[in-house]
């Protein structure tokens, strides 16, 4: 299985909703056009930042179908197909395959908090039900479930189409172990913007990035600098992003990125309740962060934010 086309900057795309909280499929296509124009290397759909947990089964499939259609093969689509149960994850993964997704991104089951043995059975069952490459998605801050490096090894041994992991744990030591212990060539993607560069310096192929929703050109510039060996520039850009991740504390996940998108001219609408909009004070603080990053991005030659629309 050729995994070399999976690399670079992949926005963890926020799912756009209308003011009445209905799914905004037209806006999905508009956002994807903007990201591709910014030079991203893939699109991740229906992940955590994409509020997959707030979607009905019908909406989840509609979102995947629209994103795959809008992308039209220009870059790979990483389809979020994780669920609480193995049966649900298999159904979503099969649907994503039939629609033409390029990779299944499967978050660990949440709420149930399975053991490492249960994770092994879960992931190998999902992988054996599809021909798609399957990437584990490890996000213990959200799911309270952590995939251990030895469990990834066993998963890859159990199914040839398990190709690696997106790691949002924020533990660089563990991320490095995922790469070092893998039994064959594998994928490692960052899900934590603050250590994306560090992970890439240690061999990760790229980042599935929340911040790339807001400043895709700047994230692409960091990736390109890292890849070309311009580590000074890459580090400078990585530090520019740091305040945006810190701003997550100003609201409940995942509202801050959505509010930042609106402020930067990439409006994806509101988050679905129970998550509420930011307070006026918090929005002002996020606005200051967005404006400063935009100014510094301009100095890096990474473009201006998109115009609101």
As a three-state string, the secondary structure of the chain is CCCCCCCEEEEECCCCECCCCCECHHHHHHHHHHHHHCCCCCEEECCCCCCHHHCCHHHHHHHHHHHHHHHCCCCCEEEECCCCCHHHHHHHHHHHHHHCCCEEEEECCCCCCCCHHHHHHHHHHHHHCCCCCEEEEECHHHHCCCCCHHHHHHHHHHCCCEEEEEECCCCHHHHHHHHHHCCCCCEEEECCHHHHHHHHHCCCCEEEECHHHCCHHHHHHHHHHHHHCCHHHHHHHHHHHHHHHHHHHHCCCCHHHHHHHHHCCCCCCCCCCCCCCCCHHHHHHHHHHHHHHHHHHHHCCCCCCCCCC
Contact 250, 282 (CB under 8 A): yes
Q: Is 195 annotated as a binding residue?
A: no
**88: exposed, middle or buried (C-beta count within 10 Å: 0-12, 13-18, 19+)?**
middle
Q: Which pLDDT score is estimated for 299?
A: 86
Task: State the residue for tokens 């994928």.
Answer: 187
Catalytic residues: 137, 166
CA separation for the pair 103, 93 (Å, rounded): 9
List per-residue pLDDT tens for the chain, 309 residues long.
889 999 999 999 999 999 999 999 999 999 999 999 999 999 999 999 999 999 999 999 999 999 999 999 999 999 999 999 999 999 999 999 999 999 999 999 999 999 999 999 999 999 999 999 999 999 999 999 999 999 999 999 999 999 999 999 999 999 999 999 999 999 999 999 999 999 999 999 999 999 999 999 999 999 999 999 999 999 999 999 999 999 999 999 999 999 999 999 999 999 999 999 999 999 999 999 999 999 999 888 876 545 433
Query: Residue ranges per domain, the chain?
Result: 8-228
CATH code reported for the domain at 8-228: 3.20.20.70
Q: What is the pTM of this model?
A: 0.96
């Amino acid at each position: 299985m050729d995994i070399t086309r999976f690399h670079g900057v992949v926005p963890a795309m926020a799912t756009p909703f209308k003011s009445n909280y209905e799914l905004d499929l037209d806006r999905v296509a508009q956002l994807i056009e903007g990201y591709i124009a910014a030079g991203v290397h893939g699109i991740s759909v229906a992940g955590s930042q994409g509020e997959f947990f707030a979607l009905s089964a019908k909406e989840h499939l509609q979102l995947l179908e629209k994103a795959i259609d809008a992308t039209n093969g220009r870059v790979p689509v990483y389809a979020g197909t994780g669920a609480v149960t193995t049966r649900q994850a298999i159904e979503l993964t099969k649907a994503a395959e039939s629609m033409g997704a390029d990779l299944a991104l499967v978050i660990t089951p949440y709420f149930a908090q399975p053991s490492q043995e249960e994770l092994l059975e879960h992931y190998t069952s999902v992988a054996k039900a599809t021909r798609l490459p399957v990437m584990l998605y490890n996000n213990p801050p959200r799911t309270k479930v952590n995939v251990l490096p030895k469990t990834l090894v066993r998963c890859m041994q159990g199914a040839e189409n398990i190709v690696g992991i997106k790691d949002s744990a924020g533990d660089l030591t563990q991320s490095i172990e995922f790469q070092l212990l893998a039994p064959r060539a594998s994928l490692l993607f960052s899900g934590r913007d603050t250590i994306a560069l560090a992970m890439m310096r240690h061999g990760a192929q790229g980042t599935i990035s929340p911040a790339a929703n807001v400043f895709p050109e700047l994230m692409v510039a960091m990736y390109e600098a890292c890849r070309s060996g311009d580590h000074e520039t890459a580090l400078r850009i990585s530090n520019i992003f740091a305040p945006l991740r810190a701003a997550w504390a100003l609201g409940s996940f995942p509202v801050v990125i959505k509010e930042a998108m609106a402020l930067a001219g990439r409006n994806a609408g509101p988050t679905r309740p129970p998550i509420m909009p930011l307070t006026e004070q918090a929005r002002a603080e996020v606005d200051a962060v967005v404006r400063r990053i935009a100014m510094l991005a301009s100095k890096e030659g990474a473009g201006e934010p998109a115009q609101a629309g």
